[in-house]
Amino acid sequence: MTTYAEFHRRSLTDRDAFWREQAALIDWQQPFETVCDDSNPPFTRWFPGGTTNLCHNAVDRHVAARGEQAALIHVSTETGTERVYSFAELHVEVQRMAAILVGFGVGKGDRVLIYMPMVPEAVFAMLACVRVGAIHSVVFGGFASASLASRIDDAEPTVVISADAGSRSGKVIAYKPLLDEAIATARHKPASVLLVDRGLAAMSRVAERDHDYAALREANLDAQVPCTFVDATHPSYTLYTSGTTGRPKGVQRDTGGYAVALAASMKHVFCGNAGETYFSTSDIGWVVGHSYIVYGPLIAGMATILYEGLPIRPDAGVWWSLVEKYRVSVMFSAPTAVRVLKKHDPAHLRAHDLSSLRALFLAGEPLDEPTASWIAGALGKPVIDNYWQTESGWPILTIAGGVEALPTRFGSPGVPMAGYDVRLVDEATGEDIVEPNRKGIVAIAGPTPPGFMQTVWRDDARFVETYWKSIPGRLLYNTFDWGIRDADGYYFILGRTDDVINVAGHRLGTREIEESISSHPNVAEVAVVGVADPVKGQVAIAFVVARDAAGLGDAGARMRFEGDVMKTVDTRLGALARPARVHLVAALPKTRSGKLLRRALQAVCEGRDPGDLTTIEDPGALQAIRALIGG
């Protein structure tokens, strides 16, 4: 039996043979000539000369053997609708959408911008784009018009696909006015806009530009649009990294390498089998949605759940009811979502048959031990952390249970996945750190594996300067994350290198402080930010959501709690890391994808404009903190 260490080592030392084997997991129209072309680092080309198609691998190739099997399961607790599409039905719908795009003049290399809620038509659109060789750029639904306009200008789409509205917690969010304003603001004017009318919000139409999806679908019911097979190195999509400031940074992904990476990860990491059901609770606007709602599960021949709604609406058992109903075998969520569920009665979880579920994967932010322990105990299933980025496209660090079921370690996402030559390097010298438990920058030596970003869209220089030139004397990809590695090779992520607090000349990671605070028994959630201080340069400010806030109703109890939290930090990290203030709050401001808005918190503390808060889940959380700080 191959150990995981041997498996990983071979992916680096016998790279071409290893990835040639993984490439057999997908269909190729024309065999590739070379496995890896690394002649122009850091630009790595995987499987050049080979031709394939993402839509063929995700849909067409499954129709003959499993045409009647469920492929796309759409559930909206916002609208109370549920629909299951078989692979055969998905094949038909994607061709209808593809015919509409072809009718608009969309072809190989053209861009299509998708600004959609979590509805089946969004998935049809993504698959239709890659079917005809077009490059899709999905923008998170509900993004502010200014942010959307900058992405329109960067992608220069021929067509924009959108909808009348999305819905969140029962509140309708009208997309069309935001889209109209964005197009009016943008320099680039897309020739056509395709609109899905959900009947949630009234829409004004721009003559000759705006088109109704339902009418065009009706006109293309019998459409047959063959796949356009493209070179493996042909771009499949661009995706803008969240939190980008200034000019957007479009991560560009290839076609063949991405398909191979996803197929390999579904087999070796997620252990997903054809005929089973995969449930990722993310959004198609983020990379997890691309890789593990749409492409990865479908490539593996699995059904995939597309969920529109909250984890606690109509109640905190809704996700688990879907696991039971659709016999979900693999689930993928985020630590933030689990923390939300942790506040609710665990009876919601126990009420459902979860026997089909083999594992829960969590990613998006570091997984703290209390959260991991709670959900692992509640589910009685393996909980597997994983670490990656928009740029990587699939996990960098996790446990590949399909190769060897290594034990998980709380606080660690795991070990490097196949093809990732992960290093820890000294910030000042750029030298590799070989001794265990010494903090350094997490970096990746080239060539990066299949599925990794090719470049920044239309900006090779920015790709090199941003990612490959920031480590002294080395051509290494910088993740911009701090980490340590233990004696057994497990990595622990300590937070962003750009989320460092400089307190009186001492550098402290906010993540380290958060980790120590979260160990306090009455802390449910915490966010720590560095705030400008006239004496120390910066000080740490902590915002804490108490597990039991009822007992902290008077000023004396709150002061004692603040003192206890500070003492916890003193004990674990030392007095230098102690926050200057610990603010007790009812909720922390987060994006709809579950990420904490730490920069917005920092801006409020420093009396600055927090910037674009379009994606904030609960604006009231930040407003309450602003009032607290002002007081």
Q: Measure the CA–CA gap between 452 and 394, rounded to whole angstroms.
A: 8
User: Residue 628: is its pLDDT beyond 90?
Assistant: no
The ranges assigned to domains in the chain are: 4-309+386-479, 499-630
| Contact assessment for residue 319 and residue 378, using Cβ atoms and an 8 Å cutoff | no
The band of 244, judged by pLDDT with boundaries at 50, 70 and 90, is very low
List the CATH code of the domain at 4-309+386-479: 3.40.50.12780
Those residues whose C-beta lies under 8 Å from the C-beta of residue 237, and which sit 6 or more positions away, are 126, 129, 130, 135, 136, 137, 138, 252, 253, 290
Place of tokens 């079921």: 405
The residue that leads in pLDDT, 407 or 536, is: 407
Q: Would you tell me how many other CB atoms lie within 10 Å of the CB of residue 510?
A: 24
Closest CA to 62 of 304, 241, 287, 246: 304
Element (H, E) at 332: strand 328-333
The band of 418, judged by pLDDT with boundaries at 50, 70 and 90, is very high
| Contact assessment for residue 104 and residue 158, using Cβ atoms and an 8 Å cutoff | yes
b (16+ CB within 10 A) / e for 471-490: beebebbbbbbbbbbeeebb
Find the mean pLDDT for residues 388-409: 96
b (16+ CB within 10 A) / e for 162-183: bbbbbbbeeeebbbbebbbebb
| Contact assessment for residue 326 and residue 303, using Cβ atoms and an 8 Å cutoff | yes
Give the pair of three-digit tokens for residue 242: 């969240």
DSSP code of residue 430: -
pLDDT (tens digit per residue) in 51-90: 999 999 999 999 999 999 999 999 999 999 999 999 999 9
Give the pair of three-digit tokens for residue 479: 């993740």
- Give the three-class secondary structure for 472: coil
Q: How many helices (H) and strands (E) does the chain have?
A: 21, 32
- Give the three-class secondary structure for 52: strand
Find the mean pLDDT for residues 554-563: 91
Phi, psi of 123, deg, nearest 5: -70, -40
Element (H, E) at 339: helix 335-342
Give the pLDDT confidence score for residue 613 in this predicted structure. Answer: 67
Q: What number of CA atoms fall less than 13 Å from residue 345's CA on the CB side?
A: 6
Place of tokens 């190729």: 28
| Gyration radius from the chain CA atoms | 24
Give the pair of three-digit tokens for residue 301: 């021949």
List the CATH code of the domain at 499-630: 3.30.300.30
User: Residue 242: is its pLDDT beyond 60?
Assistant: no
Q: Measure the CA–CA gap between 448 and 425, rounded to whole angstroms.
A: 17
The band of 246, judged by pLDDT with boundaries at 50, 70 and 90, is low
Helix/strand/coil percent split, the chain, to 5: 35, 25, 40
Give the pLDDT confidence score for residue 147 in this predicted structure. Answer: 82
pLDDT (tens digit per residue) in 482-499: 999 999 999 999 877 777
Place of tokens 């048959």: 353
pLDDT (tens digit per residue) in 5-17: 999 999 999 999 9
Q: Measure the CA–CA gap between 421 and 444, rounded to whole angstroms.
A: 5
Give the pLDDT confidence score for residue 631 in this predicted structure. Answer: 46
